[in-house]
Amino acid sequence: MGATDIATDRSVADVLDHVWENRSTIQSRDAYAMVLLALGRENPLLACLSNDMDFEDHFAAVLPRQYVELGIAEQNMMTVAAGMTVAARPVFANGMSPFAIARAFEQIKIDIAGANLPVKIVATHGGLASGHYGPTHHSLEDVGATRMLPNMTVVVPGDAFETVQATVALAATPGPAYLRLGRLATDTLYEERAEFVLGRARVLREPGRVLYIATGPYPNLVAAGAARELAARGISAGHLNLHTVKPLDRETVLDAITSAEVVVTIEDHRALGGMGGAVCEVVAEVGGPPVRRIGVPDVHYDLVGGEGYLLDRAGINVPNAIARALDVVAR
């Protein structure tokens, strides 16, 4: 079976093993689809809702009584998802990030977050993943918007395997959540399997004079590359994968900044209001080191192009991550 083959008879444990073995070649959205089907087979109360995202190709065929196709109607899907929690728990509502969040924000705010209902909003094409369609398909405000909502858990996995781990964890967690996924397969962040805990950052490189904090696949790969380059120059650099933006792991962040002369946050989101802003709130409260945020600038980012090109144009790259650190450390 190929890396993206969605076998209908895999258990959750089987999916975890399969995705781990193919973690650098499988798309996170495919990994998610596999584990959601496995979770649905194990829990007949789990429901899957879709906004024309092709989940009917596998989920509906196997579990038709647990599946509802809403078509391209994001606002309606969120209200239906909230209503379905009367009989189904949890409810996974699936769509594209630029529309599932921005277009349906009022329904998420009132019907889901405000009511503290077990709806898990799973949105693909996060950040600049759909940059080839232009700014209508950029999703650069979603993390900031959802982290401001009460009761909401916000997770941005770093790779395909972490996506599966996060989905399993969210399925067992009460209350609403936002799971942000990308589009293309990305290199893995991990050489060894490790436990995933919601709300607990992963230390990928021990803290040093520079501390990189990243969320999501490409930002974490940038942080890893920058940390390696600084180490080669004799400058110690730590790296935290902040996969859970809310609740933010204050303890790990505060512990990591004790030796840092500068913190550099990296995200494929606007530099304002997202993960970097959340880190600034924590660091400022204790009078910690300066924070330099790398993200999409505060402009209408009206560029069209591939994800890699747009990330690079926004400065979400290794050279900029190094330069922002050396702005402080080199003084």
Which CATH code fits 202-329? 3.40.50.920
Say which CATH topology domain 12-180 has.
Rossmann fold (3.40.50)
CA distances from 249 to 22, 171, 241, 245, 283 (A): 29, 20, 11, 8, 12
Instruction: Enter the tokens of residue 4.
Output: 């993206």
Predicted confidence band of residue 34 (pLDDT cuts 50, 70, 90): very high
User: Between helices 12-21 and 160-171, what is the axis angle to 10°?
Assistant: 160
Predicted confidence band of residue 2 (pLDDT cuts 50, 70, 90): very low
**Residue closest to 316 by CA, chosen among 301, 294, 299:** 294
State the Cα–Cα distance between residues 70 and 116, nearest whole angstrom.
Answer: 22
**What is the pLDDT averaged over residues 170-199?**
94
Domain 12-180 identical in fold to domain 202-329: yes
Predicted confidence band of residue 58 (pLDDT cuts 50, 70, 90): confident
116-151 confidence digits (pLDDT tens)? 999 999 999 999 999 999 999 999 999 999 999 999
DSSP annotation string for 63-79: -GGGEEE--S-HHHHHH
**What is the pLDDT averaged over residues 71-100?**
95
Predicted confidence band of residue 330 (pLDDT cuts 50, 70, 90): confident
CA distances from 91 to 112, 173, 232, 245 (A): 11, 12, 47, 21
**What is the pLDDT averaged over residues 70-77?**
94
277-328 confidence digits (pLDDT tens)? 999 999 999 999 999 999 999 999 889 999 999 999 999 999 999 999 999 9
- Kindly tell me if the per-residue pLDDT of 3 is higher than 60: no
**Kind of pairing, strands 177-180 and 153-155?**
parallel
Domain spans of the chain, in order of start: 12-180, 202-329
